[in-house]
Amino acid sequence: MADPFPGPSPTGNSPSESASTDALGREKAFRVALIGNPNTGKSTLFSALAGVRQRTGNYPGVTVEKKEGRVVMGDRPFVLIDLPGTYSLAPRSPDEMVAVDVLLGRRDDELPLDMVVCIVDASNLERNLYVVSQVLELGLPVVLAVNMVDVAADRGLKLDLARLERQLGVPVVPVQAHRKVGLDKLADAIAAIPARVAKASSSRVESESSAQQLPGGHAAARVSPFPEAFQGEVAALERLERNAGIPVLPRYLLERLLLDTTGYLENSGLPGVTPELLAETKAARSRLALQGLPVPGVEAMARYQWIAGILEGVVTRPKQRLVTTGDKLDRVLTHRVWGTLVFVAMMVLLFQTVFWMAEPASELIDGGKSWIGDRIVAAVPEGALRSLLINGVLEGVGGVLVFLPQIFTLFLFIAVLEDCGYMARAAYLMDRLMSRVGLSGKSFIPLLSSFACAIPGVMATRVIENPKDRLVTMLVAPLMSCSARLPVYTLLVGAFIPDRKYLGGWFGLQGLTMFAMYAIGVVMAVAVAWILKLTLLRGATPPFVMELPGYKLPGLNIVLYRMLERGWSFVKRAGTLIFAVSVVVWAAAYYPRDIERVAPELVKRQANAALAVARLEARAAELGDQPPQPPPTPGSEATTGSGKSKTNSGESKTGSGESPRASGEPSARSGESVTANSGSEAHASGSEANASGSEATTSGPEDAASELEAARRELEAADDLLAGAMLRHSYLGRLGQWIEPVVKPLGWDWRIGCAALASFPAREVLVATLGVIYNLGADEDEESESLTQTLRSATWEGSTKPLFNVPVALSIMVFFALCAQCASTLAVIKRETNSWRWPAFTFVYMTSLAYIASLLVYQIGIRL
């Protein structure tokens, strides 16, 4: 996989040693896993240690993110592996199993680990040490990083970490990951482990009896926190496996098998889990229950007891708990009334800001796009290749990239809100609403992620234990307005919603419209979830527990990294899927190119007009070196550049507004009509007489100029008609006309219908497709102008009536807000539910909902 952010590592210990790391070879790198509870700053620590040289991917078969970073600490290469944050290593799903398998070295696609760094929150040692006690049982060397010691100190907590180190038996290092304090010490502690492991393994060769001993001399840490009776049962299970000659599970997994009453491990196909073993496991559970050690309760009891011993004398709390800034903030932000107000204000502000902050950058990209278009026109001869480059590639991919600033700005906001701790408060506030429709606040987090993209959103539903809730959340997640809808909204809002400001400029109509589009998805999701929970997927509202992380200033690195990471995935989509769909749509709109057969009269008319223009231009040149009126560049918004005349091709849109065309009707005399004034539709401008073929003598240069002007206009009209006819008779055009009766009630013409149809694989393609269709329809080799302008001047075919107006724009936006136009999302739902039933259901319900809603919007809109 390509490294998207190459650059030197910021950690002092590894100054650009990637080359030597590679030279030393992968197999020599010491593999270190990073594990800890959620919200302990694990990702921050990982980024701080690994720098920007990280690789992210997925563990195959599951949706667990795999993050690796290579660094040099001491003189040794290390591979850091960031495991997902977890409260416990008690696997109850394939996702939770990943961390356990990685830690136990049971994955075929991963080299075994050499050590583990556990990260804990200094203010929450008791709770955070739970997972540490599980890690210590795995038998790997451990270093404990105690993070956010500054926050703990602010709360008045006094920590005796030297004592903790003694009682725990592993190195303990205080750090402040977000300020990069203590990282050198942590790196030293990590770097010291390989030598200790080497020493321990050589001593192990000497004394065979210490085979069970932990490498690194932390034998004390291996002591199980469980009561002896429990340990005895685990040992008995191990003996049973050994005696039966079946593969012996690692002790930790045997323990888990005994503790797991959910049935997950029993049915997960672990080797060596035989019916005999399971029967014995059940018997062991009943024996333990009789001794007052019920499974699974015994685990929490034993571990917290162990933790209490480890923390003996380590933490000194202040007599009077200090009220922190976070507490004061929470009084407002989680307040029923004030908190909700802040939440709504925050969301409105977010979308307002996304809109105006990104605008200058978008204009810049748009300008760059036009510039490239001009270069292509200059460099590539007219024909299929130029059309492909400009209308397929540039308009397609470029049209989507123009919206990158918006997407990056939105990702930036989401990352900031996540990192400062506000998102969890928002989820808390939303739990009231969610529980009313039978879901929990837990469902809100996947839905929130779906605002960026439904794919991670659907994957994030794995945190929901209740299968029905999980399914409902998954089915409504694609209704959230993901980043792919943003280009569609931005384009249409920018082009058709008036830029009105209210309340002294604080609220703009455009921003409010954007907000409404996001809101309609949320409202529909709530309604659909409610209906589903009442009908197909009935079930009790589940209990809801979620940790609220402490507030903190968002870390610049983390926020930027997350923004770039998500933005980058969007660029990749633009480069692959959107590119492919753009090219396919372009080809469908360009071919079969049999216009000579379909509408020969248009071809003839266009050829004649071009001939006439050329002739008049030549004559104008004869009449004088400098004609009094320079050839006007016919450049209205609709159809810039009467392309065929080579004299104009290099020119930009000079003086398009001031062109003499604006000055009333031309005084073109109605000479004999050379054109086969076709049997196609009556076109307002097309019916204009042309003076092109007229052999009438000119009385002066001014007449010649007006003749030339009229000829140019005729050429332009002929070009338009020809281009329109070609599009209409293209494969896409034929399909579009076929579906037009269906989309007409929505206020769409067949071209919008085509664009919507082409957007079913990936909805952001709409922008590209509109670009392709309307540019092809306008004039195939014109310089690329802004799509906004093109759309504003688009008309219904065969009339001058503008195609787009506010109801049409709203109807398109509502359709895109609600329709299931994302093949990847449907594929993810299929994978997550393991059946085609639910993606099919999602597709049908969303598409029907979209059609009905946009029908209502348009039909009501035009009557207002």
Partner 1 sequence: MLMVSLLPLFQLEPGQRARIRQLMGMPDQVHRLEELGLRAGTTVEMVQPGSPCIVRLDGGKLCFRGNEAFSVLVQAGEDA
Which residues sit at the interface with partner 1, rule CB under 8 A?
39, 87-88, 90, 92, 121-127, 130, 152, 155, 157, 261-262, 294, 296-297, 299-300, 304, 327, 330, 334-336, 424, 428, 431-432, 435, 440-441, 465, 540-550
CB of 139 to partner 1, least distance (A): 21
Judged by beta carbon, residue 276 or residue 547, the one nearer partner 1 is: 547
Residue whose entry in the numeric block shows the structure tokens 């993901």: 482
CB of 541 to partner 1, least distance (A): 5
CB of 817 to partner 1, least distance (A): 29
CB of 86 to partner 1, least distance (A): 9
DSSP 447: H
Distance CA 850, CA 852 (A): 6
Distance CA 45, CA 50 (A): 8
CB of 552 to partner 1, least distance (A): 13
CB of 540 to partner 1, least distance (A): 6
CA R_g for the chain: 34
Task: Check if the beta carbon of residue 551 is closer than 8 Å to that of residue 148.
Answer: no
Distance CA 642, CA 384 (A): 18
Judged by beta carbon, residue 261 or residue 788, the one nearer partner 1 is: 261
Residue whose entry in the numeric block shows the structure tokens 């724009």: 809
Phi/psi at 514 (5° precision): -55, -45
CB of 452 to partner 1, least distance (A): 23
Q: In the structure encoding, which two tokens stand for residue 51, read together?
A: 């720098």
Judged by beta carbon, residue 431 or residue 716, the one nearer partner 1 is: 431
Judged by beta carbon, residue 37 or residue 842, the one nearer partner 1 is: 37
Judged by beta carbon, residue 424 or residue 743, the one nearer partner 1 is: 424
Judged by beta carbon, residue 203 or residue 305, the one nearer partner 1 is: 305
Q: In the structure encoding, which two tokens stand for residue 409, read together?
A: 């700005």
Distance CA 862, CA 851 (A): 17
SS (H, E, C) 44-110: HHHHHHHCCCEEEEECCCCCCEEEEEEEEECCEEEEEEECCCCCCCCCCCHHHHHHHHHHHCCCCCC
Instruction: List beta partners, residue 81.
Output: 33, 68
First to last CA, the chain: 54
Judged by beta carbon, residue 300 or residue 742, the one nearer partner 1 is: 300
Judged by beta carbon, residue 297 or residue 367, the one nearer partner 1 is: 297
Judged by beta carbon, residue 131 or residue 853, the one nearer partner 1 is: 131
Is the sign of the CA dihedral 36, 42, 43, 49 positive or negative?
A: negative
Distance CA 12, CA 186 (A): 12
CB of 426 to partner 1, least distance (A): 11
Burial of 319 per CB tally in 10 Å (0-12, 13-18, 19+): exposed
Q: Helix, strand or coil for residue 759?
A: coil
Judged by beta carbon, residue 215 or residue 550, the one nearer partner 1 is: 550
Q: In the structure encoding, which two tokens stand for residue 831, read together?
A: 């994978």
CB of 469 to partner 1, least distance (A): 12
Cis peptide before 660 (omega within 30 of 0): no
CB of 235 to partner 1, least distance (A): 23
Instruction: List beta partners, residue 795.
Output: 802
Classify the phi-psi angles of 13: left when phi > 0, otherwise alpha if psi is within -120 to 50, otherwise beta: alpha
Phi/psi at 349 (5° precision): -60, -40
CB of 335 to partner 1, least distance (A): 7
SS (H, E, C) 359-420: HHHHHHHHHHHHHHHHHHHHHCCCCHHHHHHHHHHHHHHHHHHCCHHHHHHHHHHHHHHHHH
CB of 431 to partner 1, least distance (A): 5
Instruction: List beta partners, residue 31.
Output: 79
CB of 260 to partner 1, least distance (A): 9
Judged by beta carbon, residue 544 or residue 591, the one nearer partner 1 is: 544
Q: In the structure encoding, which two tokens stand for residue 371, read together?
A: 């510039």
CB of 123 to partner 1, least distance (A): 3
Judged by beta carbon, residue 299 or residue 797, the one nearer partner 1 is: 299
Burial of 467 per CB tally in 10 Å (0-12, 13-18, 19+): exposed
Whole-angstrom CA distances from 12 to 71, 146, 174, 185, 724 are 10, 20, 18, 12, 63
CB of 543 to partner 1, least distance (A): 4
CB of 272 to partner 1, least distance (A): 24
Query: Which helix (H) or strand (E) is 117 found in, with range?
Result: strand 115-121
Judged by beta carbon, residue 10 or residue 38, the one nearer partner 1 is: 38
Pairing of strands 142-147, 76-82: unpaired
Beta-sheet strands, E only, within 138-250: 142-147, 158-159, 172-174
Phi/psi at 464 (5° precision): -85, 120
Judged by beta carbon, residue 503 or residue 545, the one nearer partner 1 is: 545
Judged by beta carbon, residue 155 or residue 729, the one nearer partner 1 is: 155
Judged by beta carbon, residue 247 or residue 297, the one nearer partner 1 is: 297
